[in-house]
């Protein structure tokens, strides 16, 4: 394995193994030591790389998931697909990247929900949502840029919680409840975007509420 040249590269290298160890040891120094031992890295250097504690470990794991998503679902593979399918594939790629580490995920979600970590967790969620929308081809620069990421970030966070405890299975495979939950939420996004687009059309293209009420009161003969 190539020797990492920066602390950030070292964090990315160790992140998956730390997540594996976190299932048993929590997001702890012990988990860092386990990962360093497996990677043949000086434990002291590994500890230094994660000196900021649990959120630094979790952030490195999320960065690993971001990279895995981009590797598994490159932007070119999404060309021509409906936007809902693009988002679905990207979210599922992220879930596939954490599959088998549900215990580590549950512990990470609990840590991120702590009041002292909420702001950092929100930033991480925003970054992941932004990465998904960019791969999906979104180029919005107005307020839509922010609303899309806020909504997708909330949906992804909710889906992770379902995924972490989902033991269901159907003919398609495991995590049936998660897939159904995600599909419902994406459908909700699409309905919202459609309604928003209709509302934001130029006023002359929209149905006049006054005219409509007038027609209801005085129908055409």
pLDDT tens for each residue of 150-195: 999 999 999 999 999 999 999 889 999 999 999 999 998 777 667 6
Instruction: For residues 143 and 172, state if they share a domain.
Output: yes
Q: Does 12 share its domain with 88? A: no
d(CA 81, CA 87): 10
Residues 24 and 76 both lie in one domain: no
Distance CA 73, CA 90 (A): 7
Picking from 180, 190, 78, the residue whose alpha carbon sits closest to that of residue 132 is 78
Residue 217 domain-assigned (yes or no): no
Residues 157, 88 within the same domain = yes
In a domain, 215, yes or no: no
- Is residue 128 a contact partner of residue 62, using CB atoms and an 8 Å limit? yes
> Is residue 175 located within the same domain as residue 87?
yes
Residues 157 and 195 reside in one and the same domain: yes
The answer as to whether 212 is a domain residue is no
| pTM for the whole structure | 0.84
Q: Are residues 96 and 193 in the same domain?
A: yes
Q: Report yes or no on 99 lying in a domain.
A: yes
Regarding whether 83 and 131 lie in a shared domain, the answer is yes
Q: Which residue has the higher pLDDT, 145 or 210?
A: 145
Whether 57 is covered by a domain: the verdict is no
The CATH number of the domain where 145 resides is what? 1.10.357
Kindly report, residue by residue over 78-117, the tens digit of the pLDDT.
999 999 999 999 999 999 999 999 999 999 999 999 999 9
> Of all residues in the chain, what percent are helix, strand and coil, respectively (each to 5)?
75, 0, 25
**Residue 2: per-residue pLDDT:** 47
Tell me: the pLDDT tens digits for 27-84?
A: 999 999 999 999 999 999 999 999 999 999 999 999 999 999 999 999 999 999 999 9
Grouping H, G, I as helix, E, B as strand and the rest as coil, residue 137 is coil
Spatial separation of the C-alpha atoms in residues 187 and 84, rounded to whole Å:
8
Of 66, 57, 154, 150, nearest to 108 (Cα)? Answer: 57
Residue 100 lies in domain: 72-205
Report the range of poorest mean pLDDT among 55-69, 119-133, 140-154: 140-154
Is the domain of 5 the same as that of 109? no
Question: Are both 154 and 189 inside the same structural domain?
Answer: yes
Q: Is the pLDDT of residue 211 over 90?
A: no
pLDDT at position 200: 59
* pLDDT reading at 203 higher than 70: no
Domain count of the chain? 2
The arithmetic mean of pLDDT across residues 145-150, rounded, is 91
């Amino acid at each position: 394995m190539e020797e990492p040249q920066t602390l950030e590269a070292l964090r990315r290298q160790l992140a998956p193994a730390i997540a594996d160890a976190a299932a048993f040891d929590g997001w702890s120094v012990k988990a860092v030591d386990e990962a360093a031992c497996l990677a043949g890295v000086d434990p002291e250097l590994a500890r230094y790389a994660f000196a900021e504690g649990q959120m630094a470990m979790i952030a490195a794991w999320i960065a690993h998931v971001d990279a895995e998503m981009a590797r598994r679902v490159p932007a070119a593979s999404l060309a021509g697909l409906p936007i809902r399918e693009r988002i679905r594939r990207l979210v599922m790629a992220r879930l596939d990247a954490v599959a088998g580490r549900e215990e580590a995920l549950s512990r990470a979600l609990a840590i991120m929900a702590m009041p002292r970590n909420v702001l950092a967790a929100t930033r991480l969620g925003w970054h992941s949502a932004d990465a998904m929308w960019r791969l999906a081809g979104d180029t919005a620069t107005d307020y839509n840029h922010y609303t899309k990421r806020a909504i997708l970030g909330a949906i992804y966070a909710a889906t992770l919680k379902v995924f972490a405890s989902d033991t269901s299975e159907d003919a398609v495979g495991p995590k049936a409840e998660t897939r159904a939950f995600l599909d419902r939420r994406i459908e909700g996004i699409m309905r919202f975007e459609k309604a928003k687009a209709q509302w934001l059309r130029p006023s002359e293209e929209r149905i006049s509420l006054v005219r409509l009420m007038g027609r209801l009161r005085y129908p055409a003969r």
